[in-house]
Amino acid sequence: MTDWEVVIGLEIHAQLATKSKIFSGAATAYGAPPNTQASLVDLAYPGVLPVLNAEAVRMAVKFGLSIGATVARHSVFARKNYFYPDLPKGYQISQYELPVVKQGRLDIMLEDGAIKSIGITRAHLEEDAGKSLHEGLAHATGIDLNRAGTPLLEIVSEPDMRSGKEAVAYMKKIHTLVRYLEICDGNMQEGSFRCDANVSVRPRGREKFGTRAEIKNLNSFRFVEKAIQYEVARQIELLESGGTVVQETRLYDSDRDETRSMRSKEEANDYRYFPDPDLLPVKIDESFIDAVRATLPELPDDKAARFARDFALSAYDAGVLCASRELGAYFEAVVAKLGAAQAKLAANWVMGELSSALNRDGVEIAAARVNPSALSDLLLRIVDDTISGKIAKEVFEAMWSEGTSADAIIEAKGLKQITDSVAIEGVIDAVIAANPKQLADYRAGKEKLFGFFVGQVMKATAGKANPAQLNELLKLKLGGGV
């Protein structure tokens, strides 16, 4: 049996969050009625000309700086020529030989916690095409050109990934980054963030790459992983049964979980790229780059390193908290009020209760029903022993559904922890008296029964007994002490 090595490179298309299109003044907002956001330029009327949106260039440069890439001082728009009804000019304006961003890198964390650096060959600006619509049209195809001319940043990686999981980790990292930079909304359902995967396999140890297939238009992390898994299995099976992989473009069918051939290399278009004579080369000078650099936020890796260092968090926790800029900001706001000494508690709550509530209700963190200040108020009550961590979860749920403060809920529901040792002792005595058999067993060496007594006391106090005090007193009493 050959030991196969998987080789993957991704071409990620990130829709840039500009207000207007890359070469026209039409709006880029999603979901408008067909062809209402297409100007004469987007419709490719005779005589119209493209004018570059400087904001798109600024965003591309921002991305370049964030991956330590070279920002080209001179880049060129080229025409990619092919006929398709949703491509009104009969060519797509893209960048070919001279892209705006070259040679960057991005670190990803593998499942075992190791760091791997992925090379990014280039990132170039281009315009999106429109959409062909078939639904509800008998024997006809509708064309919606609202999306035509929407700016895209195509981010091309080196063939550095060795599994579907690595590919997903890389794609997620880029997804995090573009949202940090506020250059892409990352909305995968609406197609704002999607990728093509180049997949090949080779016997481990061989230097030469195998023939690759390109899987087009993957618009979810899950599909990326599943499509790659399927494609790898298909290629290995083909090779092991004596076949050869052909270079081709394939489509992933998520309903059937398989990839299907779309067109072979022979059928591929000759795009006849040449520099677009309607657009001047893009010249970028130091001062432009400096101005863009000044707008860079703290990047995810830097933020995670700072969290790990300043708050004594594990690399994993820090990474999770930094997966989105908003989550990191939420966490920091909680810590600011609660104090850095309780950062681990804050991290557990943000990654735990808060994240599950957000997921459960499908809301963005900005719309969380418990804000950072309210959450820190709740956590303060754990810290000052007013309530236990367990009770705090109950309080959190009430805060989430009622939108009131932790203190108000603790007060209204009488959830304040019992820290009066006399009161706790009274309950313990009653529990012991009611369970003579268990007491005897415990004293005979069945120490596991300690948990039973804790449970009984908690039940009797509705969970409000201070757990540390309870433990201490119970140990004494069961041991025959006071």
Residues binding other proteins (CB under 8 A): 40, 43-52, 79, 81, 83, 85, 88-91, 141, 143, 270, 272-274, 277-280
CA 2 to mean position of chain CA atoms: 35
Closer CB to other proteins, residue 43 or residue 227? Answer: 43
Distance, in Å, from the CA atom of 335 to the CA atom of 339, rounded to the nearest integer, reads 5
State whether residue 471 is helix, strand or coil: helix
Sequence-ordered list of residues with C-beta below 8 angstroms from that of 85, at least 6 positions apart, any chain: 132, 141, 143
Sequence-ordered list of residues with C-beta below 8 angstroms from that of 398, at least 6 positions apart, any chain: 404, 409, 413
Shortest CB 131 distance to other proteins, Å: 14
Shortest CB 36 distance to other proteins, Å: 15
Closer CB to other proteins, residue 47 or residue 362? Answer: 47
Nearest residue to 164 via CA among 238, 83, 223, 240: 223
Shortest CB 143 distance to other proteins, Å: 7
Shortest CB 310 distance to other proteins, Å: 48
Closer CB to other proteins, residue 43 or residue 428? Answer: 43
Shortest CB 14 distance to other proteins, Å: 24
Shortest CB 86 distance to other proteins, Å: 9
Shortest CB 217 distance to other proteins, Å: 20
Closer CB to other proteins, residue 81 or residue 348? Answer: 81
Give the CA-trace dihedral at 316, 318, 323, 327, to 10 degrees: 140
Distance, in Å, from the CA atom of 395 to the CA atom of 404, rounded to the nearest integer, reads 10
Closer CB to other proteins, residue 6 or residue 284? Answer: 284
Closer CB to other proteins, residue 270 or residue 286? Answer: 270
Sequence-ordered list of residues with C-beta below 8 angstroms from that of 98, at least 6 positions apart, any chain: 72, 74, 75, 76, 281
Q: Is 90 left (phi over 0), alpha (psi -120 to 50) or beta?
A: left
Shortest CB 98 distance to other proteins, Å: 14
Closer CB to other proteins, residue 60 or residue 375? Answer: 60
Shortest CB 44 distance to other proteins, Å: 4
Shortest CB 139 distance to other proteins, Å: 10
Distance, in Å, from the CA atom of 30 to the CA atom of 94, rounded to the nearest integer, reads 22
Sequence-ordered list of residues with C-beta below 8 angstroms from that of 143, at least 6 positions apart, any chain: 35, 85, 86, 130, 131, 132, 133
Closer CB to other proteins, residue 182 or residue 278? Answer: 278
**Angle, alpha carbons 202-206-211 (nearest 5°):** 35
Distance, in Å, from the CA atom of 473 to the CA atom of 471, rounded to the nearest integer, reads 6
Distance, in Å, from the CA atom of 102 to the CA atom of 106, rounded to the nearest integer, reads 13
Closer CB to other proteins, residue 109 or residue 279? Answer: 279
Distance, in Å, from the CA atom of 122 to the CA atom of 141, rounded to the nearest integer, reads 35
Distance, in Å, from the CA atom of 8 to the CA atom of 196, rounded to the nearest integer, reads 10
**Angle, alpha carbons 233-237-240 (nearest 5°):** 140
Closer CB to other proteins, residue 33 or residue 451? Answer: 33
Closer CB to other proteins, residue 281 or residue 352? Answer: 281
Residue 395 has φ and ψ, to the nearest 5°, of: -65, -40
Shortest CB 21 distance to other proteins, Å: 14
